[in-house]
Amino acid sequence: MGNIFSISVSCDKFFSDFQDCIVGRSAYVHELKDNLVALQTAAERLAEIKSDVLMKVMVAEQQKMKRLNQVQGWLSRVEAVEIEVAELIRDSSHQIEKLCLGGYCSRNWNSSYKFGKKVAQKLEVVSTLKKEGAFQSVAERVLLPEEDTIYEPITGERILPEIVVDERPCEPTVGLESTFDMVWRCIGDKELGVIGLYGMGGVGKTTLLTQINNKFLDARNDFDIVIWVVVSKDLQLEKIQENIGKKIGLSDESWKSKSLEEKAQDIFKILRKKKFVLLLDDIWERVDLVKVGVPHLNPNIKSKVVFTTRFIEVCGHMEAHSKLKVECLPDEEAWKLFQKKVGADALDSHPDIPELAKIAAKECGGLPLALITIGRAMACKKTPGEWKYAIKVLSRSAFEFPGMGKEVYPLLKFSYDSLPSETVRSCLLYCSLFPEDYSIPKKHLIDCWIGEGFLNDDDGDGTQNQGHHLIGVLLHACLLEEEDDDFVKMHDVIRDMTLWIACEIEKEKENYLVHAGTGLTEAPEIVKWIGIRRISLMENQINSLSISGIATFPHLLTLFLNRNDLSLITGGIFEYMSSLRVLNLSTNDSLRELPAEISKLVSLQYLDISETAIKELPKEFKALVNIKCLNLENTYYLHTVPRRLISNFPMLNVLRMFNCGFLCQGKESVLFGGSEYLVDELLVLKHLNALSITLKSSQAFEKFLSSYKLQSATQSLCLQYFDNSTSLNVSSLAGMKSLDALSIWNCKHLEELKIGSAGEVEKILEIHAFHNLVSVHIDCCLKLRDLTWLIFAPNVKKIVISSCYEMEEIISAGKLGEVPEMVRNQKPFARLQFLKLHHLHNLKSIYWSALAFQHLKEMVVYECPMLKKLPLDSNSAKDRRIVIEGEKGWWKNLQWEDQATQNAFHLSFRSS
């Protein structure tokens, strides 16, 4: 028998240890509230100790001493703990809510225990760090390496360099924190040597750069020296060299007398041995840093150049590795800044003033300079009447408001003055004719510029391209904002500044009268029109326009009357506008006829009567031989456009007739029949550069396709009533490289949109056909089965398909076998924003597998009972919400990829 071991365990000891464990764990829960209070108090004390240590370090470093490693290590640990404590405090309210029974129990014991343990442990860490922060010394004196030593040029005595960074005066800022953090991260990125900050004047670029400069005073960094230089509009390399030289000890008279090249060599010899930060404020053009003497920044040179500019193009010219736009403040931050400048004394003086102040702050559009200027001016206004009057002045004639004409606009006008030509400046001023916060269609803006004569086609490049180029110039100068690919917007303060220029500064040359979007029910007295060059009364409620007495307007060039309630225009008003070039009457739903006297406008080059109820164009229109842009889009009631009228406009550059004349019966109209007469007239136009058109027969379409010029000019195309066509080859549309909108309506016998042969597919791919197509609308094509050809339209943003009863698939897997593998592997609808599917009774599939839908905002599905599954998975809605509208029964019966997908979209539904 082997030995038998006997193990004896005391039950009392076991239960005692178990009890201690339970009691200890319980303490983490019922002491949670007290520990949180203690942690917050200890963290505040630690922050005070850290601040004292940093102050000692700063003083020591200004005396050319180097902080101790143990001090730096302690500071790093404190910063890490501060973040962790902040997270615990942030999550504490949620954990406290779980406690019950006076804090001795929890509805989620495990969660409360873990959180309580973290709080207790962090309290111990903070307490330890507080004790460790009692340093006897924080820095030690070190000698500069011989290679970094600077000697006085005359005496040869060794001199110490100036302090690493000069603190610059800067007011406390509001709303720039996130941008500051981005810039600071870029400075810490070893791969980024040159960093450009760009944005409109007054947005806070210099303030931000000042904050960056001052951050080096208290930040742990490996840089030897920080150099600040104001460059400004009048670029002088010598001045930049002098500023750098003064900072690095090259400032005596003998050095100043050296040549540019010699100074550059001296600067280079010193800076190449240092890790420096060069801050260049207010650059207007490229600064050749090599000529200044700044070493070329590469991965081996860890130095940084950070600059500010108003032009994104300058960032490119400076070869910036990172370009960061300094934006206007969001509403909440703008309101904080405005409150700060107005002060509590004024804001609390009357109950109505805070709301009025918010309205006044809104007029600043988030521009810090305007918020500060207007806020200071309102600091002594303590009655609602004063605030209401100020708001009226700001909304009608902001340049009259105290400080705007002296402090804000002159600063912004520098950007205007720096535009490359008088034409570009005129184009900018033109944008102020549109209302505040108005989304300006790029197409219509360019059309107006053509009518005004700002653009020409002398170089053969096309006025459209010139127009987009000029829009780009204004965007890059931060004087316009891009909403998306199709629209631009003008910041409210920039708009006020341009109106100030047009109405006050350059009144003799420009002289605008603008009451756009101001709620007028009657036009201003005609006497106010006299001497004016451009008038905008758009987006009001004016219902009639007439003239009494004799008045002449020989200087008037532009008249915007669009988006009103006009139903009557008396002919007399056009009698004396002999110089008028641009007339916009669009979107007046009740306007049914034009006076024959419109023929008196012999200088007219742009006419827009789109979206009106006009029934016919008078024969007198033929007198308008100088017309360059004619917009007749969506004039559904227009039944008569006289024959040989369109062809009588030899200068016609832009013609927009999309959805023009829904019904036309008169044979004397160019719209009669299937549009064959219209195509005949278009063929004789030599200068046509942009076209939108509706064709109503396959015969007209074939004749249209015979002209390469017509195809290349077409931007929007609508095909209707192709009653004899069962098939349309998509490759026939491939020559329309500018096509951005395609509609196919009421082609009741159309069964397929053929992709074409292998050779035709190669042609489509080779010329990137359909890459400009952004909108597709298919309606009442009863027998059409699919739209697989959309695989060739990677940039389409909007798709509307309705009343195509035989359609079973949007993209057919079977038909993709006809195209090359490289196309088959592409995921369609990558840029789709809006999808609308109506009355597709047999539709079963949009796409056979899940799609990313990176830009999709809304999907509308109505009367599509067979569509049981959408091409979605849990990744299709990452980081955004997609709205899906449809019937409740359809939504309830949808089949999902998995539970995760259903969960991801359960809040997306909106009942139709």
So what's the pLDDT on residue 80?
A: 85
d(CA 353, CA 422) in angstroms, rounded, equals: 43
Has residue 3 got a pLDDT over 50? no
Q: Of the candidates 624, 555, 605, which has an alpha carbon nearest to the alpha carbon of residue 449? A: 605
Element holding 801 (H helix, E strand) = strand 798-802
Closest CA to 893 of 909, 876, 877, 875: 909
Distance CA 594, CA 600 (A): 12
Residue 63, pLDDT score: 62
Examine the pLDDT at 805 and tell me if it is beyond 90: yes
432 three-state secondary structure = helix
Model confidence over 479-535: pLDDT tens digits?
A: 999 988 889 999 999 999 999 999 888 888 889 999 999 899 999 988 888 889 999
Q: Mean pLDDT throughout 727-742? A: 91
Question: How high is the pLDDT of residue 683?
Answer: 95
Q: Over 50: is that where the pLDDT of 477 sits?
A: yes
For the chain, how far is it from start to end, CA to CA, in angstroms?
Answer: 87
Q: What is the band of 89 on the pLDDT scale with cuts at 50, 70, 90?
A: confident
pLDDT digits (tens, 9 = 90+) for 274-317: 889 999 999 999 999 999 999 988 766 789 999 999 999 999 99
DSSP 623: G
Assess whether pLDDT exceeds 70 at residue 207: yes
* The pLDDT value given to residue 817: 63
Residue 219 has pLDDT above 70, yes or no: no
Which position has the token pair 């292998």? 758
Q: Which amino acid, one-letter code, is at 275?
A: K
Q: Which fold has domain 511-614?
A: 3.80.10
Once rounded to an integer, what is the mean pLDDT over residues 172-180?
84
SS3 of 721-790: the string is CCCCCCEEEHHHHCCCCCCCEEEEECCCCCCEEECCCHHHHHHHHHCCCCCCCCEEEEECCCCCCCCHHH
* Residue extents of the structural domains in the chain: 11-141, 147-325, 331-402, 422-505, 511-614, 758-912
Number of Cβ atoms within 10 Å of the Cβ of 549: 7
126 pLDDT more than 90? no
Q: What are phi and psi of 464, to 5 degrees?
A: -60, -45
Q: How far apart are CA 58 and CA 52, in angstroms?
A: 10
- Specify the pLDDT at position 232: 84
User: Residue 227 has which token pair?
Assistant: 């150099």
Specify the DSSP element, H or E, that contains 482: strand 481-482
Beta carbons of 50 and 71 less than 8 angstroms apart? no
CB under 8 Å to 78, separation ≥6 — which residues?
46, 50, 129, 133
pLDDT at 8 over 70: no
Provide the pLDDT for residue 671: 82
CB 267 within 8 A of CB 303: no
| Residues in CB range of 601: below 8 A, 6 or more apart | 574, 577, 578, 580, 583, 624
How do residues 370-381 score in pLDDT, each as one tens digit? 999 999 999 999
- What pLDDT does residue 669 have? 79
Q: Which amino acid is at 575?
A: E
Q: Considering the chain, what is the average pLDDT of its residues?
A: 86
Query: Model pTM greater than 0.85?
Result: no
Q: What is the pLDDT of residues 40-56, one digit of tens each?
A: 888 888 888 888 888 78
Token couple for 660: 């023009």
- Is the pLDDT assigned to residue 394 strictly greater than 90? no
The mean per-residue pLDDT over the stretch 702-714 comes to 93
Give the separation between CA 689 and CA 462, rounded to whole angstroms: 7
Strand-pair partners of 568? 544
CA 212 remoteness from chain centre: 25
Q: Give the pLDDT of residue 2.
A: 43
Neighbours of 435 (CB within 10 A): 19
pLDDT the model gives residue 157: 47
Which value, to the nearest 10 degrees, does the dihedral of the CA atoms of residues 358, 364, 367, 373 take? Answer: -90
- Specify whether the CB–CB gap between 863 and 838 falls below 8 A: yes
pLDDT digits (tens, 9 = 90+) for 310-334: 999 999 999 999 999 999 999 999 9
Mean pLDDT is lowest, of 63-72, 419-428, 559-568, 830-839, for 63-72
Question: Given this model, what pLDDT does residue 526 score?
Answer: 83
Residue type, 770: F
Between CA 821 and CA 826, with CA 824 as vertex, the angle to 5 degrees is 115
Q: How confident is the model at residue 5 (pLDDT cuts 50, 70, 90)?
A: very low
Angle between helices 442-452 and 422-430 (to 10 degrees): 130
DSSP strand pairing (304-309 vs 481-482) = unpaired
d(CA 654, CA 254): 65
**Quick one: pLDDT at residue 639?**
87
pLDDT value at 11 more than 60: no
CB 736 within 8 A of CB 761: no
Q: Which fold has domain 422-505?
A: Arc Repressor Mutant, subunit A (1.10.10)
Give bridge partners of residue 196 from the DSSP assignment: 307, 323
Q: Which CATH superfamily is domain 147-325 in?
A: P-loop containing nucleotide triphosphate hydrolases (3.40.50.300)
Mean pLDDT of 72-89: 85
pLDDT at residue 62 tops 70: no
Question: DSSP class of residue 530?
Answer: T
Q: Is the pLDDT of residue 670 over 50?
A: yes
Asked if residues 322 and 196 have their Cβ atoms less than 8 Å apart, the reply is yes
State the helix-helix crossing angle for 109-132 and 32-62, rounded to 10 degrees.
30
Cβ atoms 481, 503 nearer than 8 A:
no
Domain 331-402, CATH number (from 1.25.10, 1.10.10, 1.10.8, 3.40.50): 1.10.8
**Helix (H) or strand (E) segment spanning residue 66:** strand 65-67
- The predicted pLDDT at position 170 comes to 85
Closest CA to 307 of 292, 404, 299: 292
Give the C-alpha separation, 346 to 102, whole Å: 46
At residue 6, the pLDDT reads 39
Which pLDDT band holds residue 20 (cuts at 50, 70, 90)?
very low
CB-based contacts of 717, cutoff 8 Å, min separation 6: 658, 692, 693, 694, 695, 733, 736, 739, 741, 742, 743
829: pLDDT confidence band, cut at 50, 70 and 90?
A: very high
844 Rama sector, left if φ>0, alpha if ψ -120 to 50, beta otherwise: alpha
In angstroms, rounded to a whole number, what is the distance separating the alpha carbons of residues 143 and 299?
27
Structure confidence at residue 461 (pLDDT): 53
Give the orientation angle of helix 492-500 with respect to helix 409-417, to 10 degrees: 80
* Rounded Cα–Cα distance for residues 243 and 262 (Å): 15
